[in-house]
A = this chain, B = another copy of it.
């Protein structure tokens, strides 16, 4: 393993454990067994390192998301994609990378942190990377749930992201919430719980009246075609 890779591995682990802001470059080089100057030589700055760590992982995950969504889209056409499949296409790839390797949940926790660590550089990096992805998912969701106002649809999908991100970031928090009574760590079970909860939540009857609210989106389809109150 060459020096840049050693640094990336160590940084990933530390970012997952302590967060981006709280991880010092000095702790990274100590964990990687390389020199202090190596990070700046290879990545330029701390922000450059964070960016590189993500670039290595976020791409494949988002590609898998799009691939799954395309698959479900094709299978459902010309009907809208079922809610469950939209949610699964978004959630599963984020967990998939976890169960493959021994490192377990390091990646998952780092990505969870990416969603919850607000403000500043990190948030900007995330947004840059997933903007296109979100447009894609919202487009599909709009067809599946036309009875929701644009606003409520966006809120609901943000709830899905939040629930997923939180459980990715700190699976052990679940155990804490239950005073240790509940086992933790089975990714397949977690995915299943998330799918049930989020799908039902997305499909809940609309809260907004569908009226003046629907916002026209450039390049998107007209929102709120038929108004059906479906559970």
CB-based nearest B residue for A149? B182
| CB-contact partner of A183 in B19, B151, B181, B230, under 8 A | B151
| A1: Cβ under 8 A from any B Cβ | no
Q: Report the minimum CB–CB distance from A126 to chain B (whole Å).
A: 10
CB proximity of A114 to chain B, nearest CB, Å: 12
When A150-B182, A192-B207 are in contact, do A177 and B161 touch as well, CB less than 8 Å? yes
Which segment, of A39-47, A48-56, A97-105, A152-160, faces chain B? A152-160
Contacts of A8 in B (CB 8 A): none
With an 8 A cutoff between CB atoms, is A77 at the interface? Answer: no
Q: Tell me which residues across on chain B come within 8 A of A58, comparing CB atoms.
A: none
Copies assembled = 2
A108 close to chain B: CB less than 8 A: no
B192→A196 contact, CB < 8 A: no
Interface hits, A60-91 → B, CB 8 Å:
84
Would you give the shortest CB distance from A203 to chain B, in whole angstroms?
7
- Contact between A190 and B158 (Cβ–Cβ < 8 Å)? no
Which chain B residue has the least Cβ–Cβ distance from A192? Answer: B207
Among B182, B188, B205, point to the contact of A196 (Cβ < 8 A). B205
Is there contact, CB below 8 Å, between B204 and A150? no
User: Is A7 interfacial (CB-CB < 8 Å)?
Assistant: no
Q: Are A195 and B157 in contact (CB under 8 A)?
A: no
Contact between A118 and B173, CB atoms less than 8 A apart: yes
**B-contact bits for A108-126, CB 8 A (1 contact / 0 none):** 0000010111110001000
Contacts of A150 in B (CB 8 A): 178, 181-182
CB-CB under 8 A for A193 and B21, given A127-B176, A165-B166, A203-B200: no
Q: Would you call A197 and B161 a contact (CB within 8 A)?
A: no
Report the Cα distance A231→B225, complex, angstroms. 15
Contact B156 A197 (CB under 8 A): yes
Chain B residues near A156 (CB-CB < 8 A): 193, 197
Chosen A-B contacts, 22 in total, with CB atoms closer than 8 Å, are A115-B166, A116-B169, A123-B173, A150-B181, A154-B174, A154-B181, A154-B182, A155-B174, A156-B197, A158-B174, A159-B166, A161-B177, A162-B166, A163-B163, A165-B166, A166-B166, A189-B208, A192-B230, A195-B207, A200-B203, A200-B204, A201-B201
